[in-house]
Copies of this chain bind each other. A is one copy, B any other.
Amino acid sequence: MLTERQLFILKVTVDDYIQSAQPVGSNQLAKKSGISFSPATIRNEMADLEGMGFLEKTHTSSGRVPSERGYRYYVDHLLTPRPLPKEDIVQLRSIFEEKITETEEVIKRSAMILSELTNYTSILLGPDVRRHIVKKLSIVPLSSNSAVAIIVTDTGHVENRIFPIPDGLNPSEIEKMVNILNERLIGVSLNDLHKRLEQETLMVMKQHMERHGELFSTFKQAVIVPQDKNVYYGGKLNILNQPDFHDLHKIRNLMDVMEETDHIPMIIPVGNQGLHIRIGSENALSAMEDCSVITVSYDIGEEQTGSIAIVGPKRMDYKRIVSLLDTLSGDLSKELTRILRN
């Protein structure tokens, strides 16, 4: 078990290292205000903390640096979230300042402001488009053999895709199809669209249309909505500002991993409610073993959820980021729900 003083020293050490990015030594610490014991005492305590795996040395006679275990203990037990400074709140609120009516726009702005505020990289996941509900379907013919399919959802999101249409098809056939589609598919989620298309609509079309086959199958192809359309980044280049990252190779790997939307679920586990902190090797991706990721979820209405993530060095300003994310998560939930209900 840790003594009161050990806890205190661990906390101060982590705080100091987060702030300075330099290994912290006993003399340095002792000079700080609020510390009433000598360097030697601190050395003894630090040696104990190192023995327990909370601190590390970069070399035999260096100051100490928190280990991953140290960071973990710090965020689990020593984090005293302080209220956000006014400037930060003002900045955060500026996201919603302009009357914005599109969720996408709000999320984009959030990503930007968040990265500016933190100097880290922010990743925001919008709500899964595939849970949106079809409000209207239409097909606009472009030429004799192609048309564009348009799906509008209840949230005002628009999906559109060009697809081929069989040669010499009667325009009235397309109109018929659109009518059938709208009759049968309004109110269905994008996710279920494909299934419902097969199950119900195909039957009806068989009855009412002559050349349903080809048209139907190409249209069906077109309306597969991909999963990953909803990722927004802020401050992708901020890693380059961090003194912790100097190895170009590692930077490249990290940036590569973050760009690749396939990896997003590894960075931000889906379905995670609330706030989570993943430190160094706790991350699933080895390219992120020098990073910490803080994620928080937010809600839109009762059902849909999105996520916010901040990727920074392990030596991240946890206190500040946690407060920022807490606040932003709340604000976003409120604001987006409002937009949804409007």
Contacts and interface: CB of A to CB of B under 8 A. Distances in A.
Contacts of A241: 252
A333 to B, nearest CB: 19
Given A156-B162, A160-B158, A143 B342 contact: yes
A164 interface: yes
Interface stretch (A37-45, A144-152, A280-288, A294-302): A144-152
Contacts of A252: 237, 240-241
Contacts of A74: none
B146 A135 contact: no
Nearest to A161: B102
Interface in A92-127: 101-102
Interface in A229-255: 236-237, 240-241, 246, 248, 251-252, 255
A331 B152 CA distance: 35
A161 B161 CA distance: 17
Nearest to A159: B158
A140 B162 CA distance: 20
A21 to B, nearest CB: 15
B248 A102 contact: no
A246 B135 CA distance: 52
A142 B148 contact: no
Contact of A237 (B142, B154, B163, B256): B256
A6 interface: no
A304 interface: no
Given A240-B252, A252-B237, A256-B237, A101 B150 contact: no
8 contacts: A101-B162, A101-B164, A135-B142, A145-B342, A148-B158, A152-B160, A236-B259, A237-B252
Interface of A: 101-102, 135-136, 138, 140, 142-143, 145-146, 148, 150, 152, 154-156, 158, 160-164, 236-237, 240-241, 246, 248, 251-252, 255-256, 259, 342
